[in-house]
Structure 1
Amino acid sequence: MSVQSILGNFALILFVLTIVTGVIWFLDVFYLAKKRRAHADAALAEYDARNAKLAAEGIKPDSNSRAALEAGILRQPTWIEYSGSFFPVIALVFFLRSFLYEPFKIPSSSMVPTLLVGDLILVNKYTYGVRLPVINKKIIEVNDPKRGDVMVFKYPEDPSLDYIKRVVGVPGDKIVYKNKRLTINDQALSYEELPDYLDEDRLTYSKQYKENLNGVAHRILNDEGAPAYATNERSFPGHENCSFNGGDFSCTVPPGNYFMMGDNRDNSLDSRYWGFVPDQNIVGKAFFIWMNFSNLKRIGSFQ
């Protein structure tokens, strides 16, 4: 694993921090603190014996420094104090983002109009099964992804990168994309034309439709000036399950894999170009926008 991959893997960084601070915390609680206590008891016994001797000689001992002596010996070293205080927080964050919910930021326009650049979203980490952090191995089966779900996954060509697209095909589905329209298992999807979509950043309009993906209605965009599909010269695992014919293609999704597409159909690099997403690459289901600093009205569910 390269340095860049390690730095880009926040889960790995959190895992290492949790282990390191946890080891220091347990070492202090079960060993170092007891050692300091024993040292303090010995020092206090010596202090008390010295004061008793002074009292016997008629000299009034200084009893005020006893508490300061004890506190000084029992005080945690700075490196242990900070590690111990950080451990519960780091461990909690690690648990929450590994098994419950993880935040992501939308970096590109491939999911417009559903998700905009700058949207900060939450991803449910357990709805598709409980997975071990870092290695992403599923240990408990829960649900399988369904057509229409918006899913975060590890990019098949570079697993250090997280991608987000919509699930279009599940294992066994035959996907046909022709004239910018989808047919799944010989059933053509329904499309309702909507008012053109204005891209406020580029000040351009795109054709907008409501696509019904087997009961999941969502908006998609089409660029009239773009081809339905650019020629794919890349080979990917399962490439033999697909056939390409100019601007159209068809694919049969192999077992344990999913076919993903962006809602901004003509501005999305997705399964049409780099292939299927295997189950082991799944991160979770996106379900909520918790912040967009440029547009607070974006906060809420997008399903």
Structure 2
Amino acid sequence: MEIKELPKTGNAVKKRKKSGFREWIDSVVFAVTAAVLIRWIFFSAFVIPSSSMENSLLVGDYLFVSRLHYGTATPVTPLQIPLTHQTIWGTSIPSYLDWISLPQFRLPGFSEVKRGDVVVFNLPVEHPDLFEKYSTVLPDLKPHPVDLRTNYIKRCVGQPGDRMTISNGQVYYNGKKEANPARMQGEYFVSTSGAINEVNVFKKNGIIDYNQFTENFGDGVTTNDEFGYIVKTTAELAEKLKEFDFVKRIEPVFMPVQYKEPYLFPQTNLFSWNKDQYGPFVVPAKGMKINLTPQNVALYSEIIKSYEGNENVQVIGNRILQNGEVIGGYTFKQDYYFMMGDNRHNSADSRYWGFVPKDHIVGKAIFVWMSIDPDPIGFINKIRWDRLFSVIN
């Protein structure tokens, strides 16, 4: 049937011109909507607040994180003020309501999380069942929905299914020595002939974390009653210090084998591990089956109870119960990762709070677009010009 356009009448309504205020509102709505979509689908901007990734990433580095690499995750908490994370800007007032919780889906990405990637993720232990347990290691933890837990940045050192161990600070996977990051930072004892000008010797050579040695530094340092300093730096900068005639020797600092470090994951007496001597253990993978031995219960009970969507799970001693019955084995429902900071002696990472579930992954750190030194030597050095638009490796 043919449809004809109706003839125009003399009563045509003229289109009203928008007021300036209405146009301003429309512009703001468009800008916010565009920013939210870009931030959710493509990339987000972050700033480095702590030294856990030094010397690869520095305090004051501003970076872009790609959400496309691993696939953008859909929001779990839709009732949220746009462009906020946990609180309203400049306040402690929550910026979201958890009245509605949606299932999470992940859009296709370019790749999976790879060994060596610098990854941003939501801190798993801000789970309502776990935050109090880990408040000693990470003060001021609060429970949040999975997509609004605090953003952390670390390097992936263990992929799903990897058999991991750390020996004298060196990471091994499946019996292979893992390549260390180029700017990884370790801890060293620098023996000197006496007190030195710390700013001229350390800070001007790129070493910002240093202290005069005292016995309070504990195990791992052999001093022979020598005067010296404990510094956290790269192997390259440690070698450079040997050029000073007042430096007698430099020794890397590692905690000894069988020295049990408090507050390490898992919090159990079954293992005598520390940050330098850790494992062996297996990183869980989707579909991987395990027997629930006492050791495996210690390593994986939090995953089974809190991260896999299981109901009516209890952990009693070295047993796991579901619906009141003891279970002897378990098959994991998603992949997990083991994350560590490049500042290996000053990083609260998977060695202290466990594995990162795949549904907590946010994105891959791509490049630094701005870097501001919070404690520069002179105002002219406030901006670290050499770091601008540098690719993150």
Return closer, same or farther for 1:257/1:297 CA change in 2, 3 Å cut-off. same
Q: Distance in 1 between matches of 2:182 and 2:264?
A: 33
Partner SS, residue 177 of structure 1: strand
State yes or no: 1:157 paired with 2:125: yes
Between Structure 1 and Structure 2, the one with more helix by share is 1
Deviations 1:39-63 (A, max 9, x none): 976xxxxxxxxxxxxxxxxxxxxxx
Deviations 1:102-147 (A, max 9, x none): 1100011110111000000010101101222465933323221000
| Structure 1 residue aligned with 2:132 | none
Question: Is the contact between residue 99 and residue 125 of structure 1 (CA under 8 Å) also seen in structure 2?
Answer: yes
After superposition, residues 1-303 of structure 1 pair within 5 angstroms as: 74-76=17-19, 78=21, 80-133=22-75, 135=77, 137-142=104-109, 143-158=111-126, 159-189=148-178, 198-202=205-209, 205-209=231-235, 224-225=252-253, 227=255, 231-233=261-263, 243-245=271-273, 248-250=277-279, 251-255=281-285, 256-293=335-372, 294-299=383-388, 300-303=390-393
Q: How far apart are 1:301 and its partner, in Å?
A: 0.7
Give the CA RMSD over aligned residues. 3.5
Q: Distance in 2 between matches of 1:223 and 1:163?
A: 31
| Structure 1 residue aligned with 2:214 | none
Farther off after superposition, 192-201 or 151-160: 192-201
Give the TM-score normalised by structure 1.
0.62
Q: Distance in 1 between matches of 2:255 and 2:66?
A: 35
Partner SS, residue 176 of structure 1: strand
Return closer, same or farther for 1:82/1:190 CA change in 2, 3 Å cut-off. closer
Residue type of the partner of 1:154? N
Total equivalences in the alignment: 221
Residue type of the partner of 2:234? Q
Larger radius of gyration: 1
Residue type of the partner of 1:283? V
Question: Is the contact between residue 209 and residue 233 of structure 2 (CA under 8 Å) also seen in structure 1?
Answer: no
Deviations 1:154-200 (A, max 9, x none): 01122531000000001111110111111111112356999988555
Specify which structure has the bigger relative contact order, considering alpha-carbon pairs within 8 angstroms and separated by 6 or more residues.
2
Q: Distance in 1 between matches of 2:386 and 2:44?
A: 21
Q: Distance in 2 between matches of 1:39 and 1:149?
A: 63
Q: How far apart are 1:74 and its partner, in Å?
A: 4.3
Residue type of the partner of 1:264? N
Residue type of the partner of 1:167? C
Q: Distance in 2 between matches of 1:193 and 1:96?
A: 32
Q: Distance in 2 between matches of 1:87 and 1:191?
A: 46
Return closer, same or farther for 1:183/1:301 CA change in 2, 3 Å cut-off. same
Structure 2: segments with no counterpart, 5+ residues: 1-10, 78-102, 127-147, 189-201, 212-230, 237-249, 286-334, 373-382
Give the TM-score normalised by structure 2.
0.49
Q: How far apart are 1:83 and its partner, in Å?
A: 2.1
Structure 1: segments with no counterpart, 5+ residues: 1-37, 42-69, 211-221
Residue type of the partner of 1:296? W
Deviations 1:9-58 (A, max 9, x none): xxxxxxxxxxxxxxxxxxxxxxxxxxxxx9976xxxxxxxxxxxxxxxxx
Residue type of the partner of 2:261? T
Farther off after superposition, 170-179 or 138-147: 138-147
Q: Distance in 2 between matches of 1:245 and 1:106?
A: 29
Return closer, same or farther for 1:163/1:83 CA change in 2, 3 Å cut-off. same
Deviations 1:201-252 (A, max 9, x none): 4456435248xxxxxxxxxxx994563787244666xx89x94435522121
